[in-house]
Amino acid sequence: MRILVLGGTVFLSRAVAAAALARGHDVVCAARGVSGTVPDGATLVRWDRADEVPAALAEDPFDAVVDVSRIPSHVRRAVAAFPDAHWTFVSTVNVYSDTATVGGTPATLPLLDPVETDEDPASGPEVYGAMKVACENIVRTGAAAALVIRPGLIVGPGDPSGRFTYWPARFAEAAEDGLPVLVPEPVDDPVQLVDVRDLAEWIVTAAEQGTTGDFDAVCPPVPRSELLAGVADGVGADPKLVAVAPETLTEHEVAQWAGPRSIPFWVADLVEGGFMTHDVTSSLAAGLRIRPFAETARDTVAWLRATPDAKVTGLTRDEEQEVLAAVRG
């Protein structure tokens, strides 16, 4: 197959390109080329998507296109240029307006109203999600065959967000210094994520098979304690875990989800209980495979050690120990 990856230089789009190359496909990556490099064996065509489609991309038809954009006009321009290909559009679970229903699916959860804007969605996940809804609609309307994949938190080596990365990094620190690790209560709250390599492999498989439809792309919901046990196993650590109540963390100015002085990948009251409880039965049936958490954690730590400037968000080790000391009194 001849596959066009719109991007191909960073994290997921690069992983898709690498997975397609490993299976012997002819891969062209269209990107500005300023954020990273394409995998060895891929062809880079430089394209700022605010501009018209480069002539080099129109020379031969593509069998499949993979797009991760959030900008509706960028998606519209690309769909108009390659309407006969199998399109995979990588969207987000943030497209759903209902975050309360437990066990929701793409067939049961309502979407946000689409937003057609090219402005950077700095006002939060709802605007980001609404822009992705607009992009989804463009792909479904304009492409001969459309697959929409909605990931939650994408993790693993190369993760630019640092959210999941916090946990294997922290457990690795605990293995060295012997100090405890702070975890938020309740420790068995459900969580969902997907390894970038599993998502990339599924995207390539779906392109090969011509899969169409809408699917969520996360693991089945698991208790946070099970995820952390997998992280501990992968890192080779067995730290003492100290559970702290959300109200206590708030008192000590510990934030949720991401950023400085936060506990990453913890949502507490940021969203309702359906946010990390999606039913992904249909996704697994369509080919999504989920590797053990221990493998993701092990490979993430290896990547961190090889990449000293990799981003890790959240509480520093000293900040974490200060909070634990204050909690203990």
- Strands of the chain (E only): list them: 2-6, 26-31, 43-46, 64-67, 86-90, 145-151, 153-155, 181-184, 190-191, 193-195, 213-217, 222-223, 241-244, 255-257, 262-264
Residues 54 and 68 in one domain: yes
Q: Considering the domain boundaries, does residue 199 fall inside one?
A: yes
Cis peptide before 110 (omega within 30 of 0): no
Reported as a single tens digit per residue, the pLDDT across 206-257 is 999 999 999 999 999 999 999 999 999 999 999 999 999 999 999 999 999 9
Q: Considering the domain boundaries, does residue 280 fall inside one?
A: no
Reported as a single tens digit per residue, the pLDDT across 13-69 is 999 999 999 999 999 999 999 889 999 999 999 999 999 999 999 888 999 999 999
pLDDT at position 122 over 70: no
Instruction: Report pLDDT for 60.
Output: 86
Q: Which domain holds residue 116?
A: 2-155+193-217
Could you give phi then psi for residue 287, rounded to 5 degrees? 120, -5
**Res. 124 pLDDT band, cuts 50 70 90:** low
Residues 30 and 114 in one domain: yes
Q: Considering the domain boundaries, does residue 35 fall inside one?
A: yes
Q: Considering the domain boundaries, does residue 52 fall inside one?
A: yes
Residues 76 and 201 in one domain: yes
Q: Span 147-165, mean pLDDT?
A: 97
Number of domains in the chain: 2
The Cα 80–Cα 230 span in angstroms is 44
Residues 100 and 171 in one domain: no
Query: Who has greater pLDDT, 98 or 126?
Result: 98
Q: Considering the domain boundaries, does residue 179 fall inside one?
A: yes
Residues 124 and 173 in one domain: no
Residues 18 and 61 in one domain: yes
Instruction: Report pLDDT for 237.
Output: 97
211, containing H or E segment: none
Residues 145 and 232 in one domain: no
Reported as a single tens digit per residue, the pLDDT across 61-94 is 999 999 999 999 999 999 999 999 999 999 999 9
pLDDT at position 329 over 80: no
Residues 142 and 248 in one domain: no
Instruction: Report pLDDT for 123.
Output: 55
pLDDT at position 120 over 70: no
pLDDT at position 328 over 60: yes
**Res. 271 pLDDT band, cuts 50 70 90:** confident
State percent of the chain over pLDDT 90.
Answer: 91
Q: Considering the domain boundaries, does residue 285 fall inside one?
A: no
Round to the nearest angstrom and report the end-to-end CA distance of the chain: 63
Residues 128 and 174 in one domain: no
Residues 51 and 175 in one domain: no
Residues 185 and 91 in one domain: no
Residues 128 and 238 in one domain: no
Q: Considering the domain boundaries, does residue 279 fall inside one?
A: no
Q: Span 308-320, mean pLDDT?
A: 95
**CATH at residue 89:** 3.40.50.720
State percent of the chain over pLDDT 70.
Answer: 98
Nearest Cα residue to 297 out of 232, 245, 240: 232
Select from 179, 201, 217 the last residue of a domain. Answer: 217
pTM (predicted TM-score): 0.96
Q: Considering the domain boundaries, does residue 276 fall inside one?
A: no
Reported as a single tens digit per residue, the pLDDT across 275-289 is 999 999 999 999 999
Instruction: Report pLDDT for 126.
Output: 78
